[in-house]
């Protein structure tokens, strides 16, 4: 039986200015990729041709890249994707306009398209310009609410950067007050479960704590829900994988993103680890309350380093 020809792995990282492209490239570098930012597009194929099949390369591309234009770039993607010696993927980093405005304002950096117009207009102009890239992308990650650590875990989960093959699964919890994760494939609203927030001793804890988990488990709806959830996933997961899906994102939401959604995400991640093996877990909003408290009291430093610090 002939051996499969090894292919060079190339991830092109693009997206909106300020959405975290530089951070994503550093993450890819940390997991073994050779990271190159703003390589002139006319040198892209030359760089690839000079490499060997054993190389893993991540290239950052945005509107500031020399020779960048959307239509020629898409044509270049078509050419590269037809090569048998390449495993090429396009990662697009998205972000809310309001969050981008805040990041540029706080870091005092100028948006590349706001030289002669208001910042918000520049952001929206870029969004329209690069929309075809978002539509074409193999992976889209919304960084609006992500810390650097959460971005790392999400990239590992969605891009399948962890060891092993097959479909990678990413499980996350979130707060409905702060919006649904845009990248989620399956979303489960667990606000129907008993809320530990109203128990004084449990309020400062999270769904990672045994006392909170035990309290939620006393709800008569908890066990039937989890049993039906896993019964549904058993046949779905192999079907998703057989259709060529490289990653699956499962999200649990509750009001504050701290108790019920966290407990369910933890429990499902443990079940998936036993039955599937390739699982990444992130609690997107578990510390949002404490972050708001720190914002109200600037004397206390914020230990969470966020994406805006990297812009």
Q: Which residues contribute to the annotated binding site?
A: 15-22, 62-65
Q: How far, rounded to the nearest angstrom, does the alpha carbon of residue 281 sit from its chain's CA centroid?
A: 11
Strand partners, 56: 9
Which one, of 195, 202, 181, 156, lies nearest residue 284 by Cα? 181
Distance CA 87, CA 85 (A): 7
Q: Is 247 in contact with 160 (CB distance < 8 Å)?
A: yes
Distance CA 110, CA 198 (A): 45
Measure Cα distances from 214 to 90, 154, 283, 300 in Å.
43, 28, 19, 33
Q: Is 185 in contact with 248 (CB distance < 8 Å)?
A: yes
Binding residue ranges for GTP: 62-65
Beta strands of the chain (E only): which ranges?
8-15, 34-37, 56-60, 86-94, 139-142, 168-175, 186-189, 247-254, 279-283
- What angle is formed at CA 42 by the lines to CA 39 and CA 43, rounded to 5 degrees? 55
The position carrying tokens 């499969």 is 4
Distance CA 289, CA 232 (A): 33
> What are the structure tokens assigned to 181, written together?
């994760």
Binding residue ranges for ATP: 15-22
């Amino acid at each position: 039986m002939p051996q499969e020809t090894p292919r060079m792995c190339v991830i092109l990282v693009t997206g909106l200015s300020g959405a975290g492209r530089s951070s994503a490239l550093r993450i890819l570098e940390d997991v073994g990729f050779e990271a190159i930012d703003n390589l002139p597009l006319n040198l892209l194929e030359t760089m690839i041709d000079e490499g060997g099949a054993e190389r893993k390369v991540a290239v950052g591309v945005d509107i500031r890249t020399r020779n960048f234009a959307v239509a020629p770039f898409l044509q270049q993607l078509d050419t590269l994707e037809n090569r048998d010696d390449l495993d090429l993927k396009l990662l697009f980093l998205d972000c809310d306009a309001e969050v981008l405005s805040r990041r540029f304002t706080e870091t005092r950096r100028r948006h590349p398209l706001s030289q002669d117009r208001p910042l918000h207009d520049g952001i929206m102009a870029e969004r329209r310009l690069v929309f075809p890239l978002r539509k074409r992308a193999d992976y889209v990650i919304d960084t609006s609410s992500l810390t650097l650590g959460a971005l790392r875990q999400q990239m590992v989960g969605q891009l399948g950067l962890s060891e092993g093959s097959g479909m990678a699964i990413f499980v996350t919890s979130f707060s409905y007050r702060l919006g649904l994760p845009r990248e989620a494939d399956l979303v489960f609203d667990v606000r129907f479960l008993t809320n530990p927030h109203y128990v004084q001793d449990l309020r400062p804890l999270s769904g990672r704590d045994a006392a909170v988990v035990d309290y939620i488990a006393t709800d008569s709806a908890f066990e039937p829900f989890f049993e039906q959830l896993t019964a549904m996933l058993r046949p779905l997961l192999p079907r998703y994988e057989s259709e060529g899906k490289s990653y699956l994102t499962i999200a649990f939401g509750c009001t504050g993103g701290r108790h019920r959604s966290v407990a369910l995400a933890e429990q499902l991640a443990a079940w998936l680890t036993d039955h599937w093996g390739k699982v990444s877990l992130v609690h997107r909003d578990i510390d949002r309350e404490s972050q708001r408290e720190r914002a109200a009291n600037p004397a206390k430093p914020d230990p969470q380093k966020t994406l805006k610090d990297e812009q």
